Structure 1
């Protein structure tokens, strides 16, 4: 591909350069070609050159603090790519991904900087291109927790931030530091929200910034000069966990509480004066700051006695077991995200570079449903952006083979054992391009046999935990639409579920195996409820993963009677509670974790609860059996 320099001379802002500067700038430039989904630059690169986009469209993206990828803006022909990374703080890290085949002119970083140093007019134009609006957008995306993730986080106290937030105190950006100090004193708050309309967040100023200004003799400077526009914030509908964790380690600050893009209130330490401190906040903070597998291993539920004690306290406080399971899953998610980030860094350090294309790490099975116990193995996979047409196809494939293996190995080290069925991202079957996943779903539905049905049920409950979530959302939508209308698949799933009979006789006697009368609480009981609810969710197009959420939606759609839905939820609680008790006892006694419980060792009240839960599971299984036989006859 050729591009005459005369064209570039007339291209803004290069028209500001003289002939010699044009020659110096483009002397060592090269034309680059990228396939759809390949990265032009990646946030993990140590340094990156400047690219002028010649043809195609690219997407500027970044990772939020919760691991979710977010689109910042699109680049179009004529745009300069890489300026933000070149001219701002190294903490402002972006990636640029091709949305279609792209051609760029790559300009040496050093040459570009030299021209900026020598040509003030050109330099000023380039700096003007980096508007404050772009930086504000970065700050908002980077430090604001995503509402869709936060709203699903289980709260120890079952409360959302809007119930604890206080009225914010605003100050105009053109007020002076002296006025800010007076307002802080009068209002008796730790910080002020900077806003010119008393609605939108522009920044925050606290005693720390005010003191800094006074020490510099700058008390009559505008607030905008010293305000912080990189501030942690929460949505009013989020649970209080993350806010509490942040305030525990940043006590002399406030947290803006957002309603959409407006400030609805603030949180500070005194907002939670009635709530006891929790070890959970310390543990999650340590996870987010861990940089090695060894650090994360110590924090894993299977190894960390503080976390285990914390779970016991929740049980003693009569928290519903499926809420505890969701909390455990959220905790495990944090470990997964940190492991994936460490794996990315290791790949760079080992010379393999940053991920060449977009990907999304999936959690499946109980993790996908947010129903994990302390005893949990790995069920995961990877969706990769389509790279079939890339000239670097083999290199991309090898990169993710190494990358996924490292993730699975680190998870195993941190107390998440390898899946005995091989459902892990390091296996080629569970590491595919987006289009390959869709083709696999089509094949599964057409040719699914008894051997693969278990894998498919585990896959069905997938959800994203790190990367480009849109890949997972698109696949989830595709799967939901496909399975809803596949009667043959419904029949196979029902047949598979009916293979494992609920161990209870017509007159209520529970069947236990062996002298100790052992029962597998997961396979023989919990999964009967989970599987039945999943099949009904497939039939009626319910996209939720969590069994309790599925039951709620099925009841709202009049597909389940509300009483039946509540009975199923209560049964899940009782079965999960027994599993939690069993896991904690196994850890205390130094025994391997499993899902078995001895009927001879559980108390009378527990046996009664188990019996009632098994009856509900049996009832659901009978309903499925009737449906299966009716459809088979038809």
Structure 2
């Protein structure tokens, strides 16, 4: 049952991102202009706030219509010619363009403000969101999970936010969101937790006389399903560090990785059983170091290299210098498209996977459950990744990759909807099983009990795993489609 506090939840803030509701472009003025000019610009542009920015496009200050009214009241006749600089607020509160709307709602409530700058991946101001714009989207106070994460000061605060996720998932599914949309919300919360843990780690190291500030620009990456925005309710840590330093700087980043992983584990995101964490040297490199590592994977595609690349190539930056990650993404995308032995090696891993369907369309189980990740999501996600890498597509989300493949006429239009429906079906039944397991006090996973399915669910799951089983042949077709024709 959905708790009473979650009934009637307005799901809009969890379905839409800030970039969809922001006012853009941001309206800016110079700090040397006067209040009369600022008021005239607000009136002309029909906005309630103006920004001043630096040469890099980052916000230096903000002035709102309320600030202008206060100045007029205080200065009276002299207000019109008063310099704007004396009334700017700084630092400027912001939200990222790809954040969900609920993040903006929560941040405004916590900071008791009505305006937020919207920034892009390079922290440049690109728009504005206001409380007036979002008033109709307000959700229950208890569900401002993302901003609760931002306000956390330790593992306990982070863990409190995470404990709300199962109820939120149940509510959003009941509200009619697609399972892929719900997984994106879950992923956003985990990403926020990792970002906040990295912020706390950096602050602690800066205050530690043995370490001090970071010796070079750096960024924390989340990998695997987190990087794709497809996380479910059984997370573990898949993260890495990318920095602009040298090998001599590794002691600082090693300590950062160790503290980050420990903090996340204490907050309820357990250590990765496979050791894919920034606390391990293999997952912590400079930009040149990652270039060499990626090169080794591409040039020597043994099973271990393929497994590690499979996890890493879906990376997404969540903290620090996103420009470093953008540079690495461009290079990985370009180098992968020509690494045919590597791509064929990744594709070969899918050949032995068959749909777990027996006679009369019955799902085959082991100990009463069926692994819908291995027999469904894995071939779909991996197949989309391989085809995207082959085509030089930088997107990481499975749906985005499939859409890009359609646009390049690699994926037939008739295949798109069935594959998207298969992904949504499998994520939905796994999320429901994980919710049931958590309520029963069982550790959630990706193995589902099909005895709980009704006839419609069973038919949908059988259809989904059969669709996913088509990926190996679709991969072969995509390789053939771009192979040079003989003259």
* The 10-residue stretch of structure 1 (526-535 or 440-449) with the greater mean CA deviation from structure 2: 440-449
Asked whether the 8 Å contact 2:22–2:127 carries over to 1, the reply is: no
Asked whether the 8 Å contact 2:108–2:114 carries over to 1, the reply is: yes
Call closer, same or farther: CA 1:190–1:363 in 2, change over 3 Å.
closer
The counterpart of 1:253, out of the listed 114, 133, 151, is 114
- Residue 243 in structure 1 maps to residue 96 in structure 2: no
The counterpart of 1:387, out of the listed 242, 246, 257, is 246
- Whole-angstrom CA distance in 1 between matches of 2:159 and 2:89: 35
- Whole-angstrom CA distance in 2 between matches of 1:381 and 1:229: 36
Structure (1 or 2) with the larger CA radius of gyration: 1
- Residue 479 in structure 1 maps to residue 332 in structure 2: yes
Structure 2 unaligned regions, length at least 5: 1-11, 53-58
Q: Following superposition, which runs of at least 4 residues in structure 1 exceed 6 angstroms of deviation? A: 166-172, 234-238, 256-266, 625-631
Q: How does 1:244-283 map onto structure 2 within 5 Å?
A: 244-249=105-110, 253-255=114-116, 267-279=129-141, 282-283=144-145
Aligned to 1:89: none
Q: How does 1:199-238 map onto structure 2 within 5 Å?
A: 203-207=62-66, 210-211=69-70, 214=73, 220-221=78-79, 222=82, 224=84, 226-230=86-90, 231-232=92-93
Call closer, same or farther: CA 1:205–1:532 in 2, change over 3 Å.
closer
Asked whether the 8 Å contact 2:166–2:435 carries over to 1, the reply is: yes
Call closer, same or farther: CA 1:327–1:540 in 2, change over 3 Å.
same
Call closer, same or farther: CA 1:244–1:483 in 2, change over 3 Å.
same
- Residue 401 in structure 1 maps to residue 257 in structure 2: no
- Whole-angstrom CA distance in 2 between matches of 1:576 and 1:449: 30
Asked whether the 8 Å contact 2:18–2:96 carries over to 1, the reply is: no
Call closer, same or farther: CA 1:528–1:299 in 2, change over 3 Å.
same
The counterpart of 2:305, out of the listed 449, 452, 463, is 452
TM-score (norm 1): 0.64
- Whole-angstrom CA distance in 1 between matches of 2:123 and 2:267: 38
- Whole-angstrom CA distance in 2 between matches of 1:441 and 1:166: 38
Structure 1 unaligned regions, length at least 5: 1-153, 196-200
More helix by share: 2
Cα offsets for 1:7-36 (capped at 9, x unmatched)? xxxxxxxxxxxxxxxxxxxxxxxxxxxxxx
Call closer, same or farther: CA 1:356–1:629 in 2, change over 3 Å.
same
Asked whether the 8 Å contact 2:218–2:320 carries over to 1, the reply is: yes
RMSD: 3.9
- Residue 321 in structure 1 maps to residue 321 in structure 2: no
Asked whether the 8 Å contact 1:386–1:435 carries over to 2, the reply is: no
- Whole-angstrom CA distance in 2 between matches of 1:449 and 1:593: 31
Cα offsets for 1:239-260 (capped at 9, x unmatched)? 6344323333456634567999
Q: How many residues align?
A: 457
